[in-house]
Structure 1
């Protein structure tokens, strides 16, 4: 079983990075840099791009919900939504269920048209990699990645909360 590093420093052995090192630094850096490159193609920041991804996957949400999901302050999200609206990627809509609320919605058709060709090579490469695993191994990988994502969301919320106090 792989040993997880307690911190992001290089492995004590000086040899091959352990699982914690790979997840904590190698994979996360690769993911962040990929999303920076994707966002830059559209004149956006990675945070703006991930906000659009969240809006596309979840549908319209309030600015407060978007702030919580992204780990940002409400003021930062107001500016972010303003920029996305000016760029034509998102809009504010009245909430039909509660007219006091405003929802933020992404232009999903535009996002799909722009992002499919960008992500197609990545999707194909990952599918090719997945072909080398059994169904049981893929189920384990899916479970692991899902749990790591949940841990990352929890840790992000913890850091945001700690910075507010």
Structure 2
């Protein structure tokens, strides 16, 4: 492969990544709207779900949002019935956030079911080595995104 051909392929690949990123954001915005949430609240709910129980401070650390903004997010998620606050068992001064799992599963997962089936059908077309390659690509890409995000916040 010539240098020009590789540069051209890398350019096209970069463009596809940009489209993928935008389409992913728009997809999650559509899901959030179906749930009566905004996209930030929706993705914070995902972080809470994967890290529960979680304190508001920890959610602030994970997202880079101010503690005041996180309080607003939690208030809206609580009002929508997706999360609840409870006292920390080890430190009663601390409040932990948990997800109402049944509501999340019934309402959120139903919005993602079709997407999950479509992605599974697509991935079944790849062999194990190709899937391992994709996993490696996304793992490395996430590391780059996380590092670049940290740089932007300095």
TM-score range, shorter chain: 0.7 to 0.9
| Larger RCO: 1 or 2 (CA < 8 Å, sep 6+) | 2
> Partners of 2:92 and 2:148 in 1: how far apart?
34
Query: Residue 104 of structure 2 corresponds to which residue in structure 1?
Result: 111
Q: Which runs of 5+ in 1 are unaligned?
A: 4-11
Map residues 30-49 of structure 1 onto 2, 5 A cutoff. 30-49=23-42
Normalized against structure 1, the TM-score is what? 0.82
Where has structure 1 moved over 3 Å in runs of 4 or more? Answer: none
> Partners of 2:86 and 2:61 in 1: how far apart?
19
Task: Kindly state the Cα deviation for residue 16 of structure 1 after the two structures are TM-superposed.
Answer: 9.0
Map residues 1-165 of structure 1 onto 2, 5 A cutoff. 17-23=11-17, 25-159=18-152, 161-162=153-154
> Partners of 1:153 and 1:85 in 2: how far apart?
28
C-alpha distance after superposition, 1:41-60 (max 9, x if no partner) = 11101110111111111211
After alignment, is 110-119 or 134-143 more displaced? 110-119
Q: Which runs of 5+ in 2 are unaligned?
A: none
> Partners of 1:142 and 1:100 in 2: how far apart?
41
What do you get for the CA RMSD once the two structures are aligned?
2.1
